[in-house]
Copies of this chain bind each other. A is one copy, B any other.
Amino acid sequence: MREVAIIGIGMAKWGEIWEKSLRTIFTETALLALDDSGVDHIDSMVVGCMSSGLFIGQEHLASLLADYLGQKPVPAARVESACASGGVALRQGFIEVASGISDIVLVGGVEKMTDVNGHEATYALGTAADQEYEGFHGITFPGLYALMAVAHMHRYGTTREQLAMVAVKNHHNGSFNPLAQYPFEVSVGAVLNSVLVADPLRVLDCSPITDGAAAVVLCPVEMAKKMKKPIIKIIGSGQATDSIALSSREDIAWLESTYQAAKRAYAMAGKKPEDINFFEVHDCFTIAEILVMEALGIVEKGKGGGAVEKGLTALTGKFPVNPSGGLKAKGHPVGATGVAQAVEVVKQLRGEAGKRQIQNAKIGMTQNMGGTGGSTVCHIFERI
């Protein structure tokens, strides 16, 4: 396998972008990545998108986007793994370059979620759960994560305030990210007093509905070296699945797919959790970030809540988590999220993260998951 580098990144402001359609949002972002990389062509495209079918009535998405980007007839594939679609796209692009079949691959992620109303968006997102065993009974994602939160609180003593502290930290980080949908601070009190969605989760525990895209350009490390640009190498890639239905899990207070994906990524990279300088992870709900910290091995099982309270994962902590603001503050256009995590890691490793810059960051890791953890993709990146 060839070594693979990220040589270009692109992301524009996320939010409710009613004045632009999916194809425009994607194309503008992809052009930023192509411009940043300096390449004059691409050999292939991979696009992560969860449900353009339900959100905008458009499948056959990758061909459409390749055309709008002026790149036909290059091969273009869309990949889907619910909210992990972006991470899977990055992995497919990585494999494609590593294999030698393509040299320069554009990996994009996109979702246009605000062209439908709230009920329709909730239905579309709910298709990431098991429709025959979960959706049929009417449960949606806040409810599923609420079950996981209650189990974690009951078993490990995780507190309602600790959940809130995840949101407070991520909004603090996000306040330094001009591309974030909600770049402002929130307090523990504001989270605790926000509207109840699914007990114990309140609206400020939840990531938002977002329109947005993200893109990266990959090529072999050998080719990147000739371009005399900062080289961010993908040193580890791991993907894993679990039952998408919570009812089929052995333990609903544990993310087995994240544990398995991380194990594979650590093994490929030859790294341990303590070797990683910072993490971008999938905080779709506040409880999710706590569960992820444990599954990644940043803290022991059951210790995630306490670690947040002690500041371990703050921007200046030992293991900064979600310097970008995470899904919580940055927004969560589901198919784009996994790619945007890589964009943040590259910014940090290049030293281009502004007020949220982590000092001396050399190695970063991403964790992107679908549904309640039915799928996870992890990547580890190193500046060389």
Chain A interface residues (CB < 8 Å from chain B): 1, 21, 23, 50-51, 53-54, 56-64, 66-67, 71-82, 88, 91-92, 95-96, 98-101, 123-124, 127-132, 135, 237, 239-244, 248, 256-257, 260-261, 370-371, 374-375
- Known A53-B54, A57-B131, A80-B80; contact A100-B1, beta-carbon cutoff 8 A: yes
- Measured between alpha carbons, how far is A63 from B248 in the docked complex, in Å? 13
Chain B residues within an 8 Å CB radius of A91: 75, 77
Interface contact B128-A67, CB-CB below 8 Å: no
Interface SS of A by simple majority = mixed
What's the number of copies of this chain in the assembled complex?
2
Interface contact B95-A101, CB-CB below 8 Å: yes
Task: For the complex formed, measure the closest distance between the CB of A257 and the CB atoms of chain B, giving whole angstroms.
Answer: 6
Chain B residues within an 8 Å CB radius of A64: 130, 244, 374
Task: For the complex formed, measure the closest distance between the CB of A209 and the CB atoms of chain B, giving whole angstroms.
Answer: 16
- Measured between alpha carbons, how far is A242 from B275 in the docked complex, in Å? 45
- Can you report 8 residue pairs joining A to B where beta carbons are below 8 Å apart? A57-B127, A62-B81, A67-B243, A72-B243, A77-B91, A98-B100, A99-B99, A99-B100
Task: For the complex formed, measure the closest distance between the CB of A245 and the CB atoms of chain B, giving whole angstroms.
Answer: 8
Task: For the complex formed, measure the closest distance between the CB of A98 and the CB atoms of chain B, giving whole angstroms.
Answer: 5
Task: For the complex formed, measure the closest distance between the CB of A92 and the CB atoms of chain B, giving whole angstroms.
Answer: 6
Residue with the highest number of chain B CB atoms closer than 10 Å, among A241, A256, A257, A374:
A241
Interface contact A241-B53, CB-CB below 8 Å: no
Interface contact B244-A63, CB-CB below 8 Å: yes
Chain B residues within an 8 Å CB radius of A237: 101
Q: A132's closest neighbor in chain B, by CB?
A: B21
- Known A80-B78, A95-B95; contact A51-B62, beta-carbon cutoff 8 A: no
Interface contact A375-B63, CB-CB below 8 Å: yes
Chain B residues within an 8 Å CB radius of A101: 1, 95, 98, 237
- Measured between alpha carbons, how far is A370 from B56 in the docked complex, in Å? 18
- Known A1-B101, A241-B74, A257-B73; contact A60-B127, beta-carbon cutoff 8 A: yes
- Measured between alpha carbons, how far is A196 from B210 in the docked complex, in Å? 44
Interface contact A241-B21, CB-CB below 8 Å: no
- Measured between alpha carbons, how far is A346 from B242 in the docked complex, in Å? 32
- Measured between alpha carbons, how far is A51 from B51 in the docked complex, in Å? 9
Chain B residues within an 8 Å CB radius of A100: 1, 98-99
Chain B residues within an 8 Å CB radius of A53: 51, 53-54, 124, 127
Closest 6 CB pairs of A and B: A99-B99, A75-B239, A60-B82, A73-B240, A63-B374, A53-B53
- Measured between alpha carbons, how far is A310 from B229 in the docked complex, in Å? 59
Interface contact B63-A135, CB-CB below 8 Å: no
